[in-house]
A and B are shown apart, each in its own frame.
Chain A
Amino acid sequence: MTNIQQKEIPVSDEITSPETQQNRAIPNGEAAAAFLAAGVGCLTMGLLTVVETPFGSLHTLLQFYPPSGSITGISTVMVIAWLASWFVLYRFWKNKQVNLIKVFALTLAFILLGVVGIFPPFVHLFA
Protein backbone atom coordinates (compact mmCIF):
# COMPACT_ATOMS: atom_id res chain seq x y z
CA MET A 1 0.00 0.00 0.00
CA THR A 2 1.32 3.33 -0.92
CA ASN A 3 1.76 5.65 1.94
CA ILE A 4 0.38 8.88 0.69
CA GLN A 5 2.16 11.57 2.55
CA GLN A 6 -0.06 14.49 3.06
CA LYS A 7 2.03 17.56 2.49
CA GLU A 8 0.99 20.36 4.75
CA ILE A 9 0.45 23.56 2.84
CA PRO A 10 1.26 26.48 5.14
CA VAL A 11 -1.35 29.18 5.15
CA SER A 12 0.43 32.27 4.03
CA ASP A 13 -0.24 35.39 5.99
CA GLU A 14 0.12 37.21 2.69
CA ILE A 15 -3.48 36.23 2.03
CA THR A 16 -5.72 39.04 3.20
CA SER A 17 -8.18 38.19 5.93
CA PRO A 18 -11.92 38.27 5.21
CA GLU A 19 -12.29 41.33 7.39
CA THR A 20 -9.70 43.22 5.34
CA GLN A 21 -11.38 42.25 2.11
CA GLN A 22 -14.65 43.57 3.43
CA ASN A 23 -13.16 46.92 4.55
CA ARG A 24 -13.18 49.57 1.86
CA ALA A 25 -10.13 51.74 1.45
CA ILE A 26 -10.52 55.10 3.16
CA PRO A 27 -10.34 57.98 0.66
CA ASN A 28 -7.46 60.39 1.14
CA GLY A 29 -9.88 63.23 1.96
CA GLU A 30 -9.74 62.39 5.65
CA ALA A 31 -5.96 62.68 5.73
CA ALA A 32 -6.09 65.86 3.65
CA ALA A 33 -8.55 67.42 6.09
CA ALA A 34 -6.26 66.61 9.01
CA PHE A 35 -3.21 68.05 7.25
CA LEU A 36 -4.85 71.29 6.15
CA ALA A 37 -6.44 71.83 9.55
CA ALA A 38 -3.00 71.60 11.17
CA GLY A 39 -1.84 74.27 8.71
CA VAL A 40 -4.80 76.47 9.59
CA GLY A 41 -3.92 76.18 13.28
CA CYS A 42 -0.31 77.20 12.70
CA LEU A 43 -1.36 80.08 10.43
CA THR A 44 -3.81 81.29 13.07
CA MET A 45 -1.04 81.58 15.63
CA GLY A 46 1.13 83.55 13.22
CA LEU A 47 -1.69 85.91 12.27
CA LEU A 48 -2.78 86.52 15.86
CA THR A 49 0.80 87.19 17.01
CA VAL A 50 1.23 89.81 14.30
CA VAL A 51 -2.19 91.40 14.81
CA GLU A 52 -2.06 91.59 18.61
CA THR A 53 1.30 93.41 18.59
CA PRO A 54 0.14 96.86 17.50
CA PHE A 55 -3.26 96.65 19.21
CA GLY A 56 -2.93 96.91 22.97
CA SER A 57 -6.60 96.17 23.51
CA LEU A 58 -6.35 92.89 21.61
CA HIS A 59 -3.17 92.07 23.49
CA THR A 60 -5.07 92.56 26.77
CA LEU A 61 -8.09 90.63 25.51
CA LEU A 62 -5.91 87.63 24.68
CA GLN A 63 -4.57 87.39 28.22
CA PHE A 64 -6.90 84.55 29.13
CA TYR A 65 -4.59 83.68 32.00
CA PRO A 66 -2.84 86.94 32.93
CA PRO A 67 0.20 85.44 34.71
CA SER A 68 1.19 83.84 31.39
CA GLY A 69 0.23 86.75 29.18
CA SER A 70 -1.32 86.77 25.74
CA ILE A 71 0.21 83.43 24.68
CA THR A 72 -2.66 81.75 26.54
CA GLY A 73 -5.27 83.46 24.39
CA ILE A 74 -3.30 83.03 21.18
CA SER A 75 -2.75 79.31 21.80
CA THR A 76 -6.38 78.77 22.80
CA VAL A 77 -7.70 80.47 19.67
CA MET A 78 -5.14 78.51 17.63
CA VAL A 79 -6.43 75.19 19.02
CA ILE A 80 -10.05 76.22 18.43
CA ALA A 81 -9.27 77.25 14.85
CA TRP A 82 -7.45 73.95 14.29
CA LEU A 83 -10.26 71.78 15.61
CA ALA A 84 -13.03 73.82 13.96
CA SER A 85 -11.35 73.77 10.55
CA TRP A 86 -10.69 70.04 10.94
CA PHE A 87 -14.35 69.43 11.66
CA VAL A 88 -15.47 71.46 8.63
CA LEU A 89 -12.88 70.00 6.24
CA TYR A 90 -13.63 66.47 7.44
CA ARG A 91 -17.34 66.96 6.75
CA PHE A 92 -16.57 68.09 3.20
CA TRP A 93 -13.80 65.65 2.30
CA LYS A 94 -14.41 62.45 4.27
CA ASN A 95 -15.70 60.42 1.34
CA LYS A 96 -13.66 62.11 -1.36
CA GLN A 97 -10.35 61.67 -3.10
CA VAL A 98 -8.72 65.10 -3.21
CA ASN A 99 -5.57 66.42 -4.85
CA LEU A 100 -3.31 65.61 -1.92
CA ILE A 101 -0.27 67.32 -3.45
CA LYS A 102 -2.08 70.67 -3.68
CA VAL A 103 -3.60 70.33 -0.23
CA PHE A 104 -0.27 69.44 1.35
CA ALA A 105 1.51 72.26 -0.46
CA LEU A 106 -1.08 74.63 1.00
CA THR A 107 -0.56 73.06 4.42
CA LEU A 108 3.18 73.66 4.25
CA ALA A 109 2.61 77.24 3.07
CA PHE A 110 0.31 77.87 6.05
CA ILE A 111 2.85 76.40 8.47
CA LEU A 112 5.62 78.53 6.96
CA LEU A 113 3.48 81.67 7.20
CA GLY A 114 2.71 80.74 10.79
CA VAL A 115 6.42 80.49 11.59
CA VAL A 116 7.10 83.84 9.90
CA GLY A 117 4.26 85.38 11.88
CA ILE A 118 5.73 84.36 15.22
CA PHE A 119 9.33 85.21 14.39
CA PRO A 120 10.18 88.11 16.73
CA PRO A 121 12.11 90.35 14.29
CA PHE A 122 9.16 90.14 11.89
CA VAL A 123 6.61 90.74 14.66
CA HIS A 124 8.53 93.80 15.87
CA LEU A 125 8.00 95.42 12.46
CA PHE A 126 4.38 95.86 13.49
CA ALA A 127 5.12 97.15 17.01
Chain B
Amino acid sequence: MLFSSGSLLADIHGLVFGAIFLLAYSGGMVGLLDLHSSWETRKGQRALTKQLAIGTWAMAIVAWLTVITGTYLIYPLYRTEYRAVLSSTFWNTFGMVLKTHIGWFAPILATTVAVVIWRYKTQLIEEKRIRYALEVLFSLAFLTAGIAGLLGALTTKALPVY
Protein backbone atom coordinates (compact mmCIF):
# COMPACT_ATOMS: atom_id res chain seq x y z
CA MET B 1 0.00 0.00 0.00
CA LEU B 2 1.44 3.34 -1.02
CA PHE B 3 0.02 5.38 1.86
CA SER B 4 -1.37 4.44 5.20
CA SER B 5 -4.44 6.39 6.23
CA GLY B 6 -2.46 8.32 8.83
CA SER B 7 0.31 9.33 6.49
CA LEU B 8 -2.25 10.29 3.83
CA LEU B 9 -4.02 12.55 6.32
CA ALA B 10 -0.70 14.05 7.35
CA ASP B 11 0.17 14.69 3.71
CA ILE B 12 -3.17 16.40 3.05
CA HIS B 13 -2.74 18.50 6.19
CA GLY B 14 0.81 19.58 5.51
CA LEU B 15 1.56 19.17 1.81
CA VAL B 16 -1.83 20.24 0.47
CA PHE B 17 -3.50 22.65 2.90
CA GLY B 18 -0.38 23.98 4.54
CA ALA B 19 1.51 24.39 1.29
CA ILE B 20 -1.40 26.18 -0.42
CA PHE B 21 -1.52 28.68 2.43
CA LEU B 22 2.21 29.34 2.43
CA LEU B 23 2.45 29.63 -1.36
CA ALA B 24 -0.60 31.91 -1.63
CA TYR B 25 1.00 34.33 0.81
CA SER B 26 3.32 35.74 -1.83
CA GLY B 27 0.43 36.50 -4.19
CA GLY B 28 -1.56 38.12 -1.43
CA MET B 29 1.36 40.20 -0.26
CA VAL B 30 2.06 41.47 -3.79
CA GLY B 31 -1.61 42.41 -4.07
CA LEU B 32 -1.50 44.36 -0.81
CA LEU B 33 1.70 46.16 -1.75
CA ASP B 34 0.18 47.06 -5.13
CA LEU B 35 -2.66 49.02 -3.52
CA HIS B 36 -1.30 52.45 -4.38
CA SER B 37 -3.59 55.10 -5.82
CA SER B 38 -1.00 56.34 -8.27
CA TRP B 39 -0.33 52.92 -9.75
CA GLU B 40 -3.81 51.86 -10.78
CA THR B 41 -6.89 53.34 -12.39
CA ARG B 42 -10.13 53.23 -10.42
CA LYS B 43 -11.25 50.25 -12.42
CA GLY B 44 -7.96 48.50 -11.75
CA GLN B 45 -8.22 49.25 -8.04
CA ARG B 46 -11.69 47.69 -7.87
CA ALA B 47 -10.47 44.59 -9.70
CA LEU B 48 -7.39 44.30 -7.51
CA THR B 49 -9.29 44.60 -4.24
CA LYS B 50 -11.81 42.05 -5.46
CA GLN B 51 -8.99 39.62 -6.28
CA LEU B 52 -7.37 40.30 -2.93
CA ALA B 53 -10.62 39.67 -1.08
CA ILE B 54 -11.17 36.34 -2.85
CA GLY B 55 -7.53 35.29 -2.36
CA THR B 56 -7.34 36.18 1.33
CA TRP B 57 -10.67 34.51 2.07
CA ALA B 58 -9.44 31.35 0.32
CA MET B 59 -6.27 31.48 2.42
CA ALA B 60 -8.20 31.93 5.63
CA ILE B 61 -10.45 28.93 4.82
CA VAL B 62 -7.43 26.78 3.99
CA ALA B 63 -5.76 27.84 7.25
CA TRP B 64 -8.81 26.75 9.25
CA LEU B 65 -8.90 23.41 7.41
CA THR B 66 -5.20 22.94 8.18
CA VAL B 67 -5.47 23.48 11.92
CA ILE B 68 -8.71 21.52 12.29
CA THR B 69 -7.41 18.47 10.40
CA GLY B 70 -4.16 18.67 12.31
CA THR B 71 -5.68 19.01 15.76
CA TYR B 72 -8.61 16.62 15.46
CA LEU B 73 -7.49 14.01 12.91
CA ILE B 74 -3.71 13.69 12.88
CA TYR B 75 -2.67 14.71 16.37
CA PRO B 76 -4.71 11.89 18.00
CA LEU B 77 -2.89 9.36 15.79
CA TYR B 78 0.45 10.86 16.78
CA ARG B 79 -0.42 10.83 20.48
CA THR B 80 -1.55 7.21 20.29
CA GLU B 81 1.52 5.96 18.42
CA TYR B 82 4.06 7.80 20.56
CA ARG B 83 2.27 7.72 23.93
CA ALA B 84 5.31 6.22 25.62
CA VAL B 85 7.60 9.08 24.65
CA LEU B 86 5.21 12.04 24.78
CA SER B 87 6.83 13.54 27.86
CA SER B 88 10.41 12.72 27.07
CA THR B 89 11.43 13.34 23.49
CA PHE B 90 12.47 16.80 22.36
CA TRP B 91 10.34 16.40 19.26
CA ASN B 92 7.25 16.26 21.36
CA THR B 93 8.10 18.39 24.39
CA PHE B 94 9.25 21.22 22.14
CA GLY B 95 8.43 20.55 18.51
CA MET B 96 4.91 19.21 18.55
CA VAL B 97 3.79 21.30 21.54
CA LEU B 98 4.89 24.55 19.90
CA LYS B 99 3.55 23.47 16.52
CA THR B 100 0.07 22.59 17.76
CA HIS B 101 -0.24 25.90 19.57
CA ILE B 102 1.35 28.41 17.21
CA GLY B 103 -0.49 26.93 14.25
CA TRP B 104 -3.76 28.29 15.61
CA PHE B 105 -2.50 31.87 15.32
CA ALA B 106 -2.44 31.65 11.51
CA PRO B 107 -6.17 31.22 10.74
CA ILE B 108 -7.15 33.93 13.21
CA LEU B 109 -4.71 36.42 11.71
CA ALA B 110 -5.58 35.38 8.14
CA THR B 111 -9.31 35.75 8.79
CA THR B 112 -8.75 39.20 10.28
CA VAL B 113 -6.90 40.28 7.14
CA ALA B 114 -9.58 38.81 4.85
CA VAL B 115 -12.44 40.52 6.68
CA VAL B 116 -10.79 43.94 6.73
CA ILE B 117 -9.94 43.75 3.02
CA TRP B 118 -13.45 42.60 2.18
CA ARG B 119 -15.00 45.35 4.28
CA TYR B 120 -12.88 48.31 3.24
CA LYS B 121 -12.32 47.39 -0.41
CA THR B 122 -10.93 50.32 -2.43
CA GLN B 123 -10.92 52.55 0.66
CA LEU B 124 -7.76 50.65 1.63
CA ILE B 125 -5.91 52.59 -1.06
CA GLU B 126 -6.38 55.79 0.93
CA GLU B 127 -6.00 54.14 4.34
CA LYS B 128 -2.23 53.77 4.53
CA ARG B 129 -2.13 52.80 8.21
CA ILE B 130 -4.73 50.08 7.85
CA ARG B 131 -2.85 48.76 4.84
CA TYR B 132 0.46 48.65 6.71
CA ALA B 133 -1.24 46.89 9.61
CA LEU B 134 -2.69 44.33 7.21
CA GLU B 135 0.74 43.70 5.71
CA VAL B 136 2.17 43.06 9.17
CA LEU B 137 -0.66 40.76 10.25
CA PHE B 138 -0.57 38.92 6.94
CA SER B 139 3.15 38.35 7.37
CA LEU B 140 2.65 37.17 10.95
CA ALA B 141 0.05 34.68 9.72
CA PHE B 142 2.60 33.41 7.22
CA LEU B 143 5.36 33.27 9.84
CA THR B 144 3.29 31.34 12.38
CA ALA B 145 2.07 28.92 9.71
CA GLY B 146 5.64 28.54 8.47
CA ILE B 147 6.96 27.72 11.94
CA ALA B 148 4.18 25.21 12.48
CA GLY B 149 4.83 23.67 9.07
CA LEU B 150 8.57 23.41 9.60
CA LEU B 151 8.18 21.84 13.04
CA GLY B 152 5.58 19.46 11.67
CA ALA B 153 7.80 18.40 8.79
CA LEU B 154 10.81 17.83 11.05
CA THR B 155 8.80 16.02 13.74
CA THR B 156 7.14 13.78 11.14
CA LYS B 157 10.61 12.80 9.93
CA ALA B 158 11.60 11.72 13.43
CA LEU B 159 8.22 10.41 14.56
CA PRO B 160 6.12 9.63 11.48
CA VAL B 161 2.39 9.01 11.67
CA TYR B 162 1.13 5.76 10.10
Contact = CB atoms under 8 A, between A and B. Distances in A.
B109 interface: yes
A26 to B, nearest CB: 6
A72 B72 contact: yes
Interface of A: 13-17, 20, 25-26, 28, 30-31, 34-35, 37-38, 41-42, 45, 49, 65, 67-69, 71-72, 74-75, 78-79, 82, 100-101, 104, 107-108, 111, 114-115, 118-121, 123-124
B35 to A, nearest CB: 14
Nearest to A72: B71
Nearest to B112: A38
Given A31-B119, A124-B93, 15 more contacts: A14-B42, A30-B116, A34-B116, A35-B112, A42-B108, A45-B104, A72-B72, A75-B67, A75-B104, A78-B104, A100-B129, A104-B133, A104-B136, A118-B97, A120-B93
17 contacts: A13-B41, A14-B41, A14-B42, A26-B119, A30-B116, A31-B119, A34-B115, A35-B137, A42-B105, A45-B104, A71-B75, A71-B101, A72-B72, A78-B104, A100-B130, A111-B140, A114-B105
Nearest to B131: A31
Given A42-B105, A69-B79, A118-B98, A31 B71 contact: no
A107 B109 CA distance: 11
B76 interface: yes
Nearest to B102: A118
A109 to B, nearest CB: 13
Given A13-B41, A35-B112, A68 B93 contact: no
Contact of A111 (B43, B105, B126): B105
Chain B: number of interface residues, binned into ranges:
35 or more
A13 B45 CA distance: 11
Chain B interface helix/strand/loop/mixed = helix
B162 interface: no
Contact of A75 (B71, B79, B98, B120): B71
A80 to B, nearest CB: 12
B76 A37 contact: no
A10 B75 CA distance: 61
Contact of B101 (A45, A67, A104): A45
Given A28-B129, A118-B98, A41 B108 contact: yes
A31 B133 contact: yes
